[in-house]
Amino acid sequence: METEGADVGCMQSKLLQISEEHTLYLIEDDKRIEVLEKAVSDRDAKFNELLKKYEELEKRIAGVEKK
């Protein structure tokens, strides 16, 4: 009977260890996701800035061509 109890305790300990490892992996993944989301946000902002400049240049070119 004690052997079975020890096995259950060992299994619970193993499961806890695996659960903790998976939690750490999830935390690391969350950090990576945050970094990637910031990079995407920064690129979106840069894209919008460049798009605005492009549109301004298009208007200037159209104005010069009319003259």
**Can you give the C-alpha Rg of the chain in angstroms?**
29
CA distances from 19 to 15, 16, 38 (A): 6, 5, 29
The pLDDT of residue 5: 63
pTM of the full structure: 0.67
pLDDT at residue 50 is higher than 60: yes
What does the pLDDT look like over 7-49, one tens digit per residue?
Answer: 888 999 999 999 999 999 999 999 999 999 999 999 999 999 9
Tell me the H-state helices in the chain: 2-66
Q: Which two three-digit tokens encode residue 43? A: 């690129």
pLDDT at 1: 44
What is d(CA 43, CA 50) in angstroms, rounded to the nearest whole number?
10
Task: Label residue 3 by pLDDT band (50, 70, 90).
Answer: low
